[in-house]
Amino acid sequence: MTSFDLAAAKRDILDYCLRSMEYGLNFNTQGNISVRIPGEDDRFLITPTDLEYDKMTPEDIVVVDSESRLIEGPHEPSSEVTVHMAIYRRRPDVNAIVHTEPIYSNVWGVIGEPITGTLVNMVIYSKGDVPIMPFELSNNTAFGDHMCDTMGDLNAVVWANHGLLTVGENLRDAFKTSVAVESAAKVLLHARAVTDKPIVLEYDKLGITSAL
């Protein structure tokens, strides 16, 4: 097995942070990204707290353990690090987490209704309707546990009055799910403006697990 390239993984995380701004998923210093370091029992990379993405360098990405302790790096980890660690503990299938604060997903969070399956790829990526977790402050482990209860085995969840979180086997998948959920949230809002009964898809009935 080839050894994990930590520097390349940090560059990758920064690249997706910048993309999250480019795609309109994040504003200011909002959002955070983490990945599980393969081959290490208890090490994760995560974005630092309160640093603008366009000022961030790969060296600013920090290493933490599952107790959310800073192991290596020049900054404190994201204030939502405990939420990420709650997911890694509960979901061994998850190796990457993307938290963003996009407008259309947040609209559904404020309405308090799940983002139902308007677009086929969103349904495949998220593995079903995206549930809404009722508002709680997100800087503690209890939030992470409640969020995992809401998300279950799905790959996406909306935090009401706050943002979107997606998970994946790798960072590329987790990010693609964020983009897919946000575009489906936008379509659903437009559809619901003209009908109470938009045509939606159910994951279990699709009979497919990879994106089209």
User: Can you give the binding site for Zn ion, defined by CB under 5 A?
Assistant: 163
Q: Shortest Cβ distance from residue 140 to Zn ion (Å)?
A: 13
The candidate with the shortest Cα–Cα distance to 31, out of 43, 44, 16, is: 16
Phi/psi of residue 154, nearest 5 degrees: -75, 170
**Parallel, antiparallel, or unpaired: how do β-strands 163-168 and 156-159 relate?**
antiparallel
**Strand, coil or helix: what is 207?**
coil
Q: Shortest Cβ distance from residue 138 to Zn ion (Å)?
A: 6
Question: Smaller CB distance to Zn ion: residue 66 or 139?
Answer: 139
Question: Smaller CB distance to Zn ion: residue 28 or 57?
Answer: 28
Residues in the chain: 212
Distance CA 50, CA 48 (A): 7
Task: List beta partners, residue 160.
Answer: none
Question: Smaller CB distance to Zn ion: residue 100 or 116?
Answer: 100
Q: Shortest Cβ distance from residue 189 to Zn ion (Å)?
A: 21
Q: Shortest Cβ distance from residue 30 to Zn ion (Å)?
A: 5
Question: Smaller CB distance to Zn ion: residue 80 or 173?
Answer: 80
Determine which helix (DSSP H) or strand (DSSP E) holds 163, and give its type and residue range: strand 163-168
Question: Smaller CB distance to Zn ion: residue 109 or 163?
Answer: 163
Q: Shortest Cβ distance from residue 162 to Zn ion (Å)?
A: 6
Distance CA 7, CA 61 (A): 10
Name the residue number minimizing CB distance to Zn ion: 163
